[in-house]
């Protein structure tokens, strides 16, 4: 049933109805649509547009419909254009023509964007919560591996030794930034567009502040034209999810490499691996690969919406119906990906001996020679050259830096004394980096303790926000 038949002499062509129809995907907004309708109803009763007796009938009808929607007893049919028309149809079927009174003082233009924002608040909080679970998994593994020394890479070449807990904790840092972004997003976007009507506001619904408050928003947007056409909040949400996806893809890439026969740094648990249909021996890191692959669609969803918004006139245009599928896809992708990846990280078995076996190789301790000379006031540029000469000599002699004799060292530079040898160990190199962000065991231990506190704080603000909106989320 269309919501706009009066001025038309014919029904829309089948091809138009098929093109126009969004209910197959926007039905996800149904619980939010009911909530927004209930808040709007309060306003119409308060302003006297709907008599309070009728208001009670409509309220009871909406609540009954909500129960049926949750139980799967009421859903959309072939004639419904979108979630809003399906719900109005259901309400009128239940309580009669009075159900149509609710359309006063609002338009689908402000209704849809309010529903959509509530959906996003609800689901971004869920994404944030699942992300903190992944952070906890990394915090735990980092703490367990804080004494394992590993080769650290730049350009995927051995660079300097690091402690492996430091390597894993970097993921917690990146993921907590993603959680923080969701918090920022909420502070900026938690304002209601309801009351904007089609674009100009409405004389029938004079108090949007009160419906905003009922729905859990911090207030009302300031400009009705902006309010019905703004989708910055959706684009920002897609960026936040794309960035998270990029972080997950980098985690996926590491686990894929680390689990190869060549590395053997980690064994992914059987429950988080898959096999091959032809090669019986194969155990594949598919979860890690899917994490890497799915970031592509998360990035695609962001660019899809930005392309829809570019050059779009104000206020509402039907193009804006294209805002929903990218959001639903990104949210639903993350809701399946995050728990699987968390399970994979939690159950992964790292092999400390394999990780540390190559930590010193590739002349990874050359920087120690340069730092040693710099501490003796040799200008670093010169110290760097000298350390490079040591590497060149070792390479041609086929030996490691710590195998250079005292005479060889002295010949390269008079300040290279035998006490240098003590520093040419991976333990010595790591232990010297005691600044707060550095790789010494004590610094990394402190970093992981801070991460655990930050994770606890994040979990607590997320559950407070979920609580704040829970009236809105559970009908
Ligand atoms: N299905 C539409 C959307 O998602 C609802 C708003 C329709 N508004 C209109 N004026 N045709 O944007």
pLDDT tens, the chain, 475 aa long: 577 677 777 888 889 989 999 999 999 999 999 999 999 999 999 999 999 999 999 999 999 999 999 999 999 999 999 999 999 999 999 999 999 999 999 999 999 999 999 999 999 999 999 999 999 999 999 999 999 999 999 999 999 999 999 999 999 999 999 999 999 999 999 999 999 999 999 999 889 999 999 999 999 999 999 999 999 999 999 999 999 999 999 999 999 999 999 999 999 999 999 887 878 787 899 999 999 999 999 999 999 999 999 999 999 999 999 999 999 999 999 999 999 999 999 999 999 999 999 888 888 889 999 999 999 999 999 999 999 999 999 999 999 898 999 999 999 999 999 889 888 899 989 998 999 999 999 999 999 999 999 999 999 999 999 988 875 444 4
pLDDT of residue 472: 47
Ligand 1 pocket member 356 (CB < 6 A): no
d(CA 75, CA 87): 9
pLDDT of residue 475: 43
Q: Bridge-partner residues for 348, per DSSP?
A: none
Q: Rounded to 10 degrees, what is the CA torsion of 207, 211, 213, 219? A: -60
Strand 266-267 with 219-220, pairing: unpaired
Q: Bridge-partner residues for 266, per DSSP?
A: 350
Indicate which atom in ligand 1 lies nearest the CA of residue 198: 10
Extract the tokens encoding 79: 């004639």
Judged by DSSP in three states, 365 sits in coil
d(CA 82, CA 321): 10
Ligand 1 centre and the CA of 318: distance in Å? 6
Ligand 1 pocket member 22 (CB < 6 A): yes
Q: Which of 9, 10, 52, 155 is catalytic?
A: 155
pLDDT of residue 473: 43
Phi, psi of 301, rounded to the nearest 5 degrees: -65, -40
Q: Is 276 noted as a catalytic residue in this protein?
A: yes
Indicate which atom in ligand 1 lies nearest the CA of residue 83: 1
Extract the tokens encoding 324: 């929903």
pLDDT of residue 287: 96
Quick count: other Cβ atoms within 10 Å of Cβ 253? 15
Ligand 1 pocket member 112 (CB < 6 A): yes
For every residue of 189-225, which 3-state class applies, written as one string?
A: HCEECCCCCCCCCCCCCCCHHHHHHHHCCCEECCCHH
Ligand 1 pocket member 321 (CB < 6 A): yes
Ligand 1 pocket member 231 (CB < 6 A): no
Residue 191 to residues 51, 86, 173, Cα–Cα distance (Å): 28, 26, 29
With the most atoms of ligand 1 within 8 angstroms of its CB, the residue from 32, 85, 313, 318 to mutate is 318
Indicate which atom in ligand 1 lies nearest the CA of residue 108: 6
User: Angle between the 30-46 and 108-144 helix axes, to the nearest 10 degrees?
Assistant: 130
pLDDT of residue 471: 58
Q: Phi-psi bin for 158: left (phi > 0), alpha (psi -120 to 50), beta?
A: beta
d(CA 39, CA 56): 13
Nearest to 130 by CA among 27, 252, 241: 241
Nearest to 435 by CA among 425, 446, 426: 446
Ligand 1 pocket member 318 (CB < 6 A): yes
Contacts of 396 (CB under 8 A, 6+ apart): none
Indicate which atom in ligand 1 lies nearest the CA of residue 4: 11
pLDDT of residue 423: 84
d(CA 203, CA 205): 6
Q: Is 215 exposed, middle or buried (0-12, 13-18, 19+ CB in 10 A)?
A: buried
Ligand 1 pocket member 186 (CB < 6 A): no
Per-state percent for the chain, helix, strand, coil, to nearest 5: 65, 5, 30
d(CA 188, CA 116): 16
With the most atoms of ligand 1 within 8 angstroms of its CB, the residue from 112, 119, 228 to mutate is 112
Ligand 1 centre and the CA of 193: distance in Å? 14
With the most atoms of ligand 1 within 8 angstroms of its CB, the residue from 109, 317, 319 to mutate is 109
Ligand 1 centre and the CA of 19: distance in Å? 13
CA atoms within 13 A on the CB side of 69: 25
Ligand 1 pocket member 108 (CB < 6 A): yes
User: In angstroms, how far is the first alpha carbon of the chain from the final one?
Assistant: 25
Ligand 1 centre and the CA of 321: distance in Å? 6
pLDDT of residue 278: 77
pLDDT of residue 304: 98
Q: Is omega for the bond preceding 315 within 30 degrees of 0, making it cis? A: yes
Indicate which atom in ligand 1 lies nearest the CA of residue 113: 12
């Amino acid at each position: 049933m269309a919501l706009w038949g009066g001025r038309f002499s014919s029904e829309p062509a089948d091809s138009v109805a098929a093109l126009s129809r969004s209910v197959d995907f926007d039905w996800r907004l149904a619980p939010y649509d009911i909530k927004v309708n209930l808040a709007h109803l309060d306003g119409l009763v308060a302003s006297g547009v709907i008599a309070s007796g009728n208001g009670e009938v409509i309220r009871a009808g909406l609540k009954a419909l909500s129960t049926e929607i949750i139980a799967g007893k009421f859903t959309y049919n072939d004639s419904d254009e979108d979630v809003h028309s399906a719900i109005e149809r259901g309400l009128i079927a239940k309580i009669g023509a009075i159900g149509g009174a609710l359309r006063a003082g609002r338009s689908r233009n402000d209704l849809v964007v309010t529903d959509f924002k509530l959906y996003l608040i609800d689901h971004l909080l869920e994404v944030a919560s699942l992300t903190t679970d992944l952070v906890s998994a990394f915090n735990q593994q980092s703490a367990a591996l804080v004494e394992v020394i590993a080769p650290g890479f730049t350009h995927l070449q051995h660079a300097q030794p690091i402690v492996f807990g430091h390597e894993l904790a970097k993921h917690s840092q990146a993921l907590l930034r993603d959680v923080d972004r969701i918090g920022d997003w909420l502070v900026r976007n938690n304002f209601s567009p309801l009351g904007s009507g089609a674009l100009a506001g409405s004389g029938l619904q004079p108090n949007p502040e009160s419906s905003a408050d009922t729905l859990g928003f911090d207030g009302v947007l300031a400009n009705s034209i902006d309010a019905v056409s703004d989708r910055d909040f959706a684009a920002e949400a897609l960026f936040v999810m794309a960035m998270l996806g990029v972080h997950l893809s980098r985690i996926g890439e590491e686990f894929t490499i680390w689990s190869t026969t060549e590395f053997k740094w980690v064994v992914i648990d059987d429950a988080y691996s898959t096999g091959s249909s032809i090669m019986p021996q194969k155990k594949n890191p598919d979860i890690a690969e899917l994490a890497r692959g799915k970031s592509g669609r998360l990035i695609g969803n962001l660019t899809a919406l930005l392309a829809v918004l570019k050059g779009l006139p104000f206020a509402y245009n039907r193009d804006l119906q294209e805002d929903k599928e990218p959001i639903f896809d990104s949210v639903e992708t993350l809701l399946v990906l995050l728990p699987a990846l968390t399970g994979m990280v939690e159950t992964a078995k790292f092999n400390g001996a394999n990780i540390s076996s190559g930590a010193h190789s590739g002349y990874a301790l050359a920087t120690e020679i340069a730092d040693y000379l710099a501490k003796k006031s040799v200008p670093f540029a010169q110290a760097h050259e000298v350390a490079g000469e040591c590497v060149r000599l070792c390479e041609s002699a086929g030996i490691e830096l710590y195998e250079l004799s005292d005479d060889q060292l002295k010949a390269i530079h008079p300040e290279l004394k035998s006490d240098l040898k003590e520093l040419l160990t991976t333990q010595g190199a790591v232990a010297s980096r005691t600044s707060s962000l550095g790789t010494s065991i004590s610094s990394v231990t402190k970093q992981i303790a801070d991460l655990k506190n930050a994770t606890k704080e994040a979990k607590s603000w997320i559950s407070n926000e979920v609580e704040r909106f829970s009236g809105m989320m559970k009908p």
